[in-house]
Chain A
Amino acid sequence: MRGILRSPKIVAGLLILAFFVVLALFGPLLVGADPTKTNSVGLAGPSAAHWLGTTQSGQDVLAQVVYGARISMGVGVLSAVIATALSIVVGLVGGYVGGVVDEVLSLITNIFLVLPALPLVIVLAGYLPSRGVMSVAAVIAVTGWAWGARVLRAQTLTLRGRDYVQAAKAGGERPWRIVFAEILPVEFPVIATSFLATVLAAILAEAGLSFLGLANLSTVSWGTMLYFAQNNQALLVGAWWWFIPPGLCIALIGAGLGLLNFGIDEIANPRLRTVLPKRARRARRAEVVS
């Protein structure tokens, strides 16, 4: 645990993510304002009344950013949970059972891998009967599980021949128990990193869908903010306070998730380390001095 907190990448990533989680959970209490409430002062720059200015129709940008965090992160986490669950089931069952089951599951995985994800998401989202948070998350998950499944299948293939799996088999354990009690916990680091990567991909996909106007435009998310900013020529009229905050939030959350992921990778695979731990740095400096 101390090792984890010594990694600057993990600490930075966790701080950024913690900031956004707190923002999403408690932000609305502080901001108070209704993000969709309009007033007569449209397109006003940042001021004491509106810290991040207002939109064309006079909505408070800060309130929108804060409420939007809930939708953007909610969709991200929800679809990552669905996608990870799918990839665990497909990857572990295929890898462990082998034979025809594996062939069929691999075929499905490969089909989803080669499908161009964004166009598919756009088409699926266009045909959705309702465009609520749930259905957008489901669409993103359907196109995003295949990579994880492939990685987990490969891992399971190497694990299924290990002695402790054989020993569990020889002890009389049922196959599902071997898969989920003996193999799954060992793959946890892989699952964690693929989960974080999927959260990021899902947040970006949600923003992309909303920006294209394919999500529910009556909900406030960072993506719909960008959609309205674009439609109202915010860039042309110089209303930077309208599009920079949601864009920056997406970029920051991406950076946070990426840093966390790199940090975990470095712990799992020390060869990837770029920054020396403090102790080693100090030792090296002492060497140079002496």
Chain B
Amino acid sequence: MSQSVPGDEVLTAEHVTKHFTASRGGRFGRRRPPVRAVEDVSLSLTAGRITAMVGESGCGKSTVARLLAQIYPPTSGRILLHGRPVGRSRDYRRQVQMVFQDPFASLNPFHKVHYHLARPLKLHGHARTAAEVDEQVAELLERVSLTPVDQFMHKLPHELSGGQRQRVAIARALAVRPVALIADEPVSMLDVSIRLGVLRLLEQLAREENLALLYITHDIASARYFADDILVMYAGQLIEQGSSEKVTDDPAHPYTRLLLSAAPDPDRVEEHSDETTDHGEPPSLISPPSGCRFHPRCPVAMPTCSTTVPTRAQVADAHWTNCHLYDQASVDA
């Protein structure tokens, strides 16, 4: 069971970097350059709090999720659980679980719902006898509101809708009784009408179980609605962090502003400002831009942006960004 107290730092990433290299070199033995998917990411998840990680497609969000779930090891940097370095052991799996993006791919089409939930229960020793397993599987299904449980237990994934499958996937993660849960775009593959239900479920579970929840999304509006804190990621790097109100009401980084202006908002009546007309394209992660990785697309780029990497600048309490705009030295110069 989770023993963490609210406010505890549960899962921490310290300067985590992940480069993907092609397993075989290119032609004639030349090595292909690595894809720099994640570069120097540090973050921490707190028990009972929901942290959202926002960024566009291909910015490395899912890689961070898989690094935190230890599906593959980081190239450098450390991942700490309750302040202790971790390996890819089963003990770690017992504490950190993951919900995948695509519920149509994350459940094995050959196994029934019961099997999907019973395996983690048995693996981690939460249930030993068949009766215990059945009882806990029923309990899990009830917690994710898949009732009547007797009916759902014996269904195959193809007999369920997307929302129901995602609930099964959430129940599977909970069966392990983790202290941290990483949800990698848990609702992006779902019909809009059922997204809210799944998000509410995750929120409720996070509060009840005192889980440290990382909610990964490309939808900054849902992050504001759902999360306590928001991390903004761009081209493999974190560029802004703060409470969700601060980041959405008073965004510091130009990229965050762009993201917010791209989110549809019925309350916003103003015309599109000039800032939002030229969006550009996501940069290559094989040869990322020099200096600030956002400078080719940045509407307010300065000469220094293309040469120096911005450092972390504090904007307000618990709100920082990596941008030269807030870097006193470069503003003066």
With A172-B120, A172-B123, A182-B108 as given contacts, are A166 and B71 in contact (CB-CB < 8 Å)?
yes
**Cβ–Cβ contact B123 & A162, under 8 A:** no
**Cβ–Cβ contact B172 & A163, under 8 A:** no
With an 8 A cutoff between CB atoms, is A171 at the interface?
A: yes
**Cβ–Cβ contact B110 & A170, under 8 A:** no
Contact with B along A146-174 (1 / 0, CB 8 A): 00000000000000001110111111110
Per the bound structure, the CA–CA distance linking A173 and B123 in Å amounts to 7
Task: Report which of B66, B105, B123 forms a contact with A171, defined as CB distance below 8 A.
Answer: B123
Task: Report which of B66, B111, B176 forms a contact with A172, defined as CB distance below 8 A.
Answer: B176
With A170-B71, A185-B110, A186-B110 as given contacts, are A163 and B97 in contact (CB-CB < 8 Å)?
no
Residues of B within 8 A of A169 (CB): 71
Residue of A nearest to B120 (CB): A171
How close is A77's CB to chain B, nearest CB, in angstroms?
Answer: 25
With an 8 A cutoff between CB atoms, is B312 at the interface?
A: no
**Cβ–Cβ contact A172 & B93, under 8 A:** yes
Most A CB contacts (10 A, CB to CB) among B100, B107, B108 go to B108
**Cβ–Cβ contact A171 & B110, under 8 A:** no
Per the bound structure, the CA–CA distance linking A163 and B176 in Å amounts to 18
Residues of B within 8 A of A185 (CB): 108, 110-111
With an 8 A cutoff between CB atoms, is B106 at the interface?
A: yes
**Cβ–Cβ contact A163 & B120, under 8 A:** no
How close is B37's CB to chain A, nearest CB, in angstroms?
Answer: 15
**Cβ–Cβ contact A186 & B90, under 8 A:** no
How close is A178's CB to chain B, nearest CB, in angstroms?
Answer: 10
B97-113 at interface with A (beta carbon < 8 Å)? 97-98, 100-102, 105-111
Residues of A within 8 A of B106 (CB): 163-164, 166-167
Residues of A within 8 A of B123 (CB): 171-173
With A163-B100, A166-B100 as given contacts, are A171 and B107 in contact (CB-CB < 8 Å)?
no
With A163-B102, A166-B71 as given contacts, are A171 and B119 in contact (CB-CB < 8 Å)?
yes
Please classify how large the interface on chain B is, using the bins under 10, 10 to 19, 20 to 34, 35 or more. Answer: 20 to 34
Residue of A nearest to B66 (CB): A166
**Cβ–Cβ contact A164 & B105, under 8 A:** yes
**Cβ–Cβ contact A163 & B124, under 8 A:** no
With an 8 A cutoff between CB atoms, is B94 at the interface?
A: yes
Residue of A nearest to B103 (CB): A163
How close is B273's CB to chain A, nearest CB, in angstroms?
Answer: 40
**Cβ–Cβ contact B172 & A167, under 8 A:** yes
| Total contacting residues, chain A, CB less than 8 A | 14
How close is A166's CB to chain B, nearest CB, in angstroms?
Answer: 6
Residues of B within 8 A of A182 (CB): 108, 111
With A171-B176, A173-B119 as given contacts, are A186 and B94 in contact (CB-CB < 8 Å)?
no
How close is A95's CB to chain B, nearest CB, in angstroms?
Answer: 14
How close is B108's CB to chain A, nearest CB, in angstroms?
Answer: 4
Residues of B within 8 A of A163 (CB): 100-102, 105-106
**Cβ–Cβ contact B102 & A172, under 8 A:** no
Residues of A within 8 A of B108 (CB): 164, 168, 182, 185-186
With an 8 A cutoff between CB atoms, is B69 at the interface?
A: yes
How close is B277's CB to chain A, nearest CB, in angstroms?
Answer: 37
How close is B207's CB to chain A, nearest CB, in angstroms?
Answer: 23
Per the bound structure, the CA–CA distance linking A118 and B166 in Å amounts to 52
Per the bound structure, the CA–CA distance linking A214 and B169 in Å amounts to 58
> What is B's interface to A at a CB cutoff of 8 Å?
66, 69-71, 90, 93-94, 97-98, 100-102, 105-111, 119-120, 123-124, 169, 172, 176
16 more CB-based (< 8 A) A-B contacts, given A162-B105, A167-B98, A170-B71: A164-B107, A166-B66, A166-B100, A167-B106, A167-B107, A167-B172, A170-B69, A170-B70, A170-B97, A171-B123, A172-B93, A172-B94, A172-B123, A172-B124, A173-B119, A185-B110
14 residue pairs A–B, Cβ–Cβ below 8 Å: A164-B105, A164-B108, A164-B109, A167-B98, A167-B107, A168-B119, A170-B71, A170-B93, A171-B172, A172-B93, A172-B94, A172-B124, A182-B108, A186-B109
